[in-house]
Chain A
Amino acid sequence: MLEVSNLSVAYGAHRAVDEVSLMVGPREIVVILGANGSGKTSLLKAIAGIQPATPGAHIALGGRELTRLRADQIVEAGLALVPEGRGIFGELSVEENLLLGAFARRARAGEAANRTRVLALFPRLRERMRQEVRTMSGGEQQMVAIGRALMSAPDILLLDEPSLGLSPLLCGELFTAMTRIADAGIGVLLVEQNARRSLAIADRGYVMANGRVVGEGQAVALRTDPAVQRAYLGVAGGSG
């Protein structure tokens, strides 16, 4: 269980994330909706430790405090981030990316099993093991990025805009994969532009604006919320 409270991120005087609190349970898919610039990416980066949070924040994973840990220690504690732009090693092969995914000590014991699981999830990677990742299509790169994160045997997986730039078909595959990841016992925290698809697979959701959480609820409730429909689901205002 990931618990975040009072998390703020500031760039100089500008507060990109303002006292955000949220939680993600095991097997749960939680989506964060919000316009561009609402602070979603900064929030995920701060949780993963690659962007400093302002003092006073609390981030805990399974009761263990993560707040002062370095990014590499946070992965070791069981939280993996697939960042915006994927953050894969483009000059290395698929094989090497997956090998490095299991660099964390926590991942070594279950490495073979995790690898089997990742290749079952993304069979396409199987024939591409020796290919340099930067030569692959956007969808395949996203598979490598998620596969690499799963290789670290995380309890919680953070995904920043995984469907960005993917074809509708690949998008569908990706969202199916996310539900299977959650079914395997991993909590998924997802930042997405594609509100319709993400609310369809999510259990719960948060709505962010100007760095703050301005709404939260069950995914079912958010899908029918008139404000959410107007802002993110492209439903015309008025009739509801």
Chain B
Amino acid sequence: MLTDALIAGLTLGGMYALLAMGLTLQYGVARIMNLSYGELLVSGAFAAHWLFTVAGIAPLAALLLVVPAAFALSWLIYRVLLTPLVRRAPNREALEVDTILATFGLLFVVQGVLLVMFGGAYYSYSFFAVPVHLPGATVAANRLLALGFAVVVGALLYLGLTRTRLGTAIRAVAVDPVAAQLVAIDVRVAAAFAFALGGGLVACGGVLVSMFLTFNANLGVVFTMKALIVVIMGGVGNLLGALIAGLILGLTETFVATWIDPGLTLAATYAIFLVTLLVRPQGLFGIGRR
């Protein structure tokens, strides 16, 4: 039971961490509060479902199609829809309000399209659903695979952002966009790239989630909320914070569902969120660091 819950919690937490890393790139670097974030996750999940059931492409191969497509789409959204808002905003607060409204609209557009295409029903598919026997538990292989991929993608992202000049430049934009210009960083390009990268990450999360969860067209908002909570808990722009807060949230939800009552998961989520905000409003690990 403990191993069961531990693995389920780590998988869920790994997904949350991945989502939060993407959102923290969009919010921390590009300064876009993207309320349609979860819709891209659901779109990724549907794309994986369609590619698997219709075209026979395995989800992991689907990543090679879905992630670049989501990256390109997000880049386009940033250039066409959000750049005019960035340009006219007199300050960060005004930009936040504008982008919240714009992406709130985008949320309903994407959700509407998904509802037309797939209806409101729950979808799932069976990929690599072989049981794996571990000491004390039996777990579906797809869950372990999703966890493994989340770890690999998260680690690559972390290393890319902390060990390369380009990644450090992206973090620098999150720390101080004016100073970033003073070291020859084109902040507009960096922001578009960070937003697109966040889009690629959340779509990757969507593909991974679709391997072991049932999903429907209305689920996006739930993931947006979870990602937002993890970002705020970990500290905006803080990658390690997102990772750790994601794992804490995933494990807590699973433990509460296993030992107390599945109906209390959401309550538990908001309880830790509230406690974090009360005790450390800047997030568990502060803003803008690694």
Contact = CB atoms under 8 A, between A and B. Distances in A.
Interface in A73-90: 73, 75-76, 80-81, 83, 87-90
Contact of A148 (B165, B169, B183): B183
B179 A88 contact: yes
Interface string A153-172: 00000000000000000000
Contacts of A99: 165, 168
A142 interface: no
B167 to A, nearest CB: 10
A70 B186 contact: yes
Contacts of B181: 49-50, 70-72, 75
A89 B175 contact: yes
A170 to B, nearest CB: 22
B183 A75 contact: yes
Interface string A78-121: 00110100011111100010011111110100000000000000
Interface of A: 48-50, 70-73, 75-76, 80-81, 83, 87-92, 96, 99-105, 107, 132, 148-149, 152
Interface of B: 165, 168-169, 171-172, 175-176, 178-187, 286-289
Nearest to A83: B182
Contacts of B288: 91
A103 B175 contact: no
Given A72-B185, A91-B288, A103 B179 contact: no
Contacts of A103: 165, 169, 183-185
A71 B181 CA distance: 6
B206 to A, nearest CB: 30
A80 B183 CA distance: 8
A76 B181 CA distance: 10
B182 A76 contact: no
Contacts of B175: 89-92
A103 B169 CA distance: 8
B185 A87 contact: no
Where chain A touches its partner, the secondary structure class is mixed
A132 B288 CA distance: 12
7 contacts: A72-B186, A81-B182, A92-B168, A103-B185, A104-B183, A104-B184, A152-B183
B186 A92 contact: no
Contacts of A71: 181-182
Contacts of A152: 183-184
Top 6 A-B residue pairs of the complex, sorted by shortest distance between their CB atoms: A104-B184, A71-B181, A75-B184, A87-B179, A91-B288, A89-B175
A76 B185 CA distance: 9
Given A89-B172, A91-B289, A92-B171, A72 B184 contact: yes
Nearest to B187: A72
A50 B169 CA distance: 18
B188 to A, nearest CB: 9
A87 B169 contact: no
A148 B287 CA distance: 22
A81 B185 CA distance: 14
Nearest to A90: B175
A75 B178 CA distance: 13
Nearest to B190: A72
Contacts of A105: 184
Contacts of B176: 87, 89-90
A240 B84 CA distance: 59
Nearest to B186: A72
A89 B289 CA distance: 10
A152 B176 CA distance: 18
A153 to B, nearest CB: 11
A99 B171 CA distance: 13
Contacts of B182: 48, 50, 71, 75, 80-81, 83, 87, 149
